[in-house]
Each structure stands twice: as C-alpha cells, then as structure tokens.
Amino acid sequence: MNTDLIKPLAKELATQLNKLVNIPLVSEEDEQAFFEMVVKLVIELILKQFGKQIAK
C-alpha cells in the first residue's frame, strides 16, 4: 500500500479531529500523534476492504 498517499491524508484528518476532541492530561503533540496513528490504521483497513471487494 502506498503510504506516500496515506500519510498526508491521515495527517490532515487527524488535525481536524484533534481540533474537535481534547483528551485530558495529554499534550497536543501526543494527541496529534495518536489521532494520526488511528486515522492511518482506519484508512488502511478501508482500502484493504475496497481491494477485496474489487477483486471479487
């Protein structure tokens, strides 16, 4: 999977999510890293599912 395309998208979506959600006692940098990781995993899972459906 091409992470060159996923990384910028995940970063942008995570930034928007980070603006909406505040996790108490966690720094903004750590929140951003967390959201980027979660969004990247979700994007990868979705793309894998689309790949399976297209192959059928």
Tens place of pLDDT per residue across the chain (56 aa): 567 889 999 999 999 999 999 999 999 999 999 999 999 999 999 999 988 776 65
The per-residue DSSP string of 12-47 comes to HHHHHHHHH---TTS-HHHHHHHHHHHHHHHHHHHH
Position 34 scores a pLDDT of 97
Position 14 scores a pLDDT of 97
Tokens for 8? 């910028």
CA torsion, points 18, 22, 25, 29, in degrees to nearest 10?
Answer: 10
Spatial separation of the C-alpha atoms in residues 52 and 46, rounded to whole Å: 10
Position 17 scores a pLDDT of 96
Position 44 scores a pLDDT of 92
